[in-house]
């Protein structure tokens, strides 16, 4: 009989603690109109140095030693890669061409304004966060990364909030989901560019990373995509989607992630690119048969990622100066998103109330922000203090929307989708996969 090593047993026990505590706190946070990601990240923060670490005996170290945290990170990585693959597959690239003027303007403004304000703030913050892990942090890379992180809107979380609050039939709900979907494409392109700068040690290496990235994209588009289409069609005709289609797609996700790592990028970009390369012409039943198992696996493993992220957060270690910096980060993050979104919404004919609701929806950051921040930490762009401040900002901004939106079942305060000057520009559900997710988000755990 084979016995588990102490490290494996400790990891299994840690998984049990994480899943149980997350499940217990999730209904409480839902009654407070908060998404599940808020509950799970708060559990992680409570189990880490911010709360449990204040008690004598180094309880976080006893419950989650270094080897256990490394194992949890590896487990969580599987969930993140599958999640990023699903996000890539569900992005409708044609929306950039089909979206009307209101959606395009909202997407650009909700990214450009917070990117600019966040970049200006980063110029000031760089002086106290100029090194990470003992290595210097390039100021330009730091400024661009923080600006990009400020510009993010968590599309899956936003889509779930719109659905839960029954805003799918309103102009605000349509605009929020459509603008966030288009904005996701732009934001991930920006992050790839920043990541290339971060991992490049010089001009020659920058060209190498960019060149190999271009080669990988061409291979995915010209080779992998048509092969996948034929494999999935044959598997569907033979009734072997579960036994053939799922393993092939999962292997492709992990191979693309490894390729991205080999090139010098984060693994999440490989999984995301593989999702973009997936064929859009397969039958809806085939797509659903593949998506649902990946959603279940990702949904089970994502809480491990949230809580593992929270274990890295040390709120108590910020001190007075760190608290002042955090308040500045939070203020700039909210002001940039609200100003950029509300200005366009008002210019397009929405009322102040609808514009405000739309602004708070676009201010939602959630899981997407946490993935980006973890990438910044692993690439050596963010130190632990800056990481802590940005994670706390993501949690607060995600929770704000639930407090501002009208409760389901109460009098609707947003205009129906058929009304308002901006409504003709709004893509209707069914026009693309991303719009469809207003009713059925990609990853329900968020």
Domain at 39, CATH number: 1.20.1530.20
Q: What is the pLDDT of residue 432?
A: 37
Is 356 a residue whose pLDDT tops 60? Answer: yes
Average pLDDT (16-45) is: 81
- The total domain count for the chain is 1
Question: In this structure, is residue 97 part of a structural domain?
Answer: yes
Q: What is the pLDDT of residues 52-88, one digit of tens each?
A: 888 887 788 888 888 888 888 888 889 889 988 988 8
Domain of residue 302, residue span? 6-436
Q: What is the pLDDT of residue 8?
A: 84
Is 263 a residue whose pLDDT tops 60? Answer: yes
Q: Model-level pTM?
A: 0.76
Give yes or no for a contact between 155 and 368, defined as CB atoms under 8 angstroms apart: yes
Question: In this structure, is residue 407 part of a structural domain?
Answer: yes
Question: In this structure, is residue 441 part of a structural domain?
Answer: no
Q: ∠ CA 51-65-40 to the nearest 5 degrees?
A: 45
User: Worst-scoring range by mean pLDDT, 193-207, 246-260, 366-380, 402-416?
Assistant: 402-416
Cα 446 from Cα 440, distance rounded (Å): 12
Per the model's pLDDT, the better-predicted residue between 446 and 139 turns out to be 139
Cα 395 from Cα 331, distance rounded (Å): 14
Question: In this structure, is residue 444 part of a structural domain?
Answer: no
Q: Can you tell me which residue has the tokens 């703030």?
A: 121
Question: In this structure, is residue 270 part of a structural domain?
Answer: yes
Question: In this structure, is residue 214 part of a structural domain?
Answer: yes
Question: In this structure, is residue 443 part of a structural domain?
Answer: no
Question: In this structure, is residue 110 part of a structural domain?
Answer: yes
The token duo for 426 is 């709004």
Q: What is the pLDDT of residues 317-354, one digit of tens each?
A: 788 888 999 999 999 999 999 999 999 999 888 888 88
């Amino acid at each position: 009989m084979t016995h588990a090593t102490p490290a494996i047993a400790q990891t299994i026990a840690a998984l049990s603690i994480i899943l149980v505590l997350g499940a217990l706190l999730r209904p409480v946070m839902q009654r407070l109109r908060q998404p599940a990601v808020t509950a799970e990240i708060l559990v992680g923060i409570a189990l880490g140095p911010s709360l449990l670490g204040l008690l004598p005996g180094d309880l976080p170290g006893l419950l989650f030693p270094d080897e256990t945290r490394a194992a949890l990170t590896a487990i969580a990585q599987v969930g993140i890669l599958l999640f990023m693959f699903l996000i890539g597959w569900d992005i409708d690239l044609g929306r950039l061409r089909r979206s009307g003027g209101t959606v395009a303007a909202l997407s650009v403004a909700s990214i450009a304004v917070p990117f600019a304000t966040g970049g200006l703030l980063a110029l000031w913050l760089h002086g106290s966060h100029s090194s990470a892990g003992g290595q210097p942090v390039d100021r330009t890379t730091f400024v661009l990364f923080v600006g990009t992180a400020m510009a993010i809107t968590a599309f899956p979380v936003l889509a779930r909030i719109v659905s839960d609050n029954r805003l799918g039939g309103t102009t605000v709900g349509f605009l929020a989901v459509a603008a966030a979907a288009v904005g996701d494409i732009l934001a991930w392109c920006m992050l790839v560019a920043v990541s290339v700068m971060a991992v490049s040690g010089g001009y020659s290496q920058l060209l190498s990373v960019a060149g190999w990235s271009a080669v990988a994209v061409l291979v995915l588009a010209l080779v992998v995509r048509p092969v996948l289409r034929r494999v999935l069609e044959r598997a569907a005709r033979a009734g072997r989607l579960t036994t053939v289609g799922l393993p092939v797609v999962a292997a492709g996700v992990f191979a693309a992630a490894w390729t991205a790592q080999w090139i010098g990028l984060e693994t999440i970009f490989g999984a995301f690119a593989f999702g973009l390369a997936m064929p859009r012409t397969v039958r809806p039943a085939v797509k659903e048969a593949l998506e649902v198992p990946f959603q279940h696996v990702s949904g089970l493993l994502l809480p491990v990622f949230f809580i593992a992220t929270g274990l890295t957060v040390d709120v108590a270690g910020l001190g007075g100066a760190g608290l002042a910096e955090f308040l500045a980060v939070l203020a700039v993050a909210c002001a940039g998103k609200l100003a950029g979104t509300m200005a366009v919404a008002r210019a397009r004919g929405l009322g102040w109330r609808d514009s405000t609701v739309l602004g708070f929806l676009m201010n939602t950051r959630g899981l997407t922000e946490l993935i980006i921040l973890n990438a910044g930490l692993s690439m050596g762009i963010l130190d632990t203090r800056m990481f802590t401040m940005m994670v706390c900002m993501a949690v607060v901004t995600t929770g704000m929307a639930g407090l501002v939106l009208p409760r389901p079942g109460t009098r609707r305060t947003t205009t129906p989708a058929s009304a308002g000057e901006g409504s003709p520009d709004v893509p209707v559900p069914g026009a693309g996969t991303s719009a469809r997710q207003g009713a059925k988000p990609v990853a329900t755990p968020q």
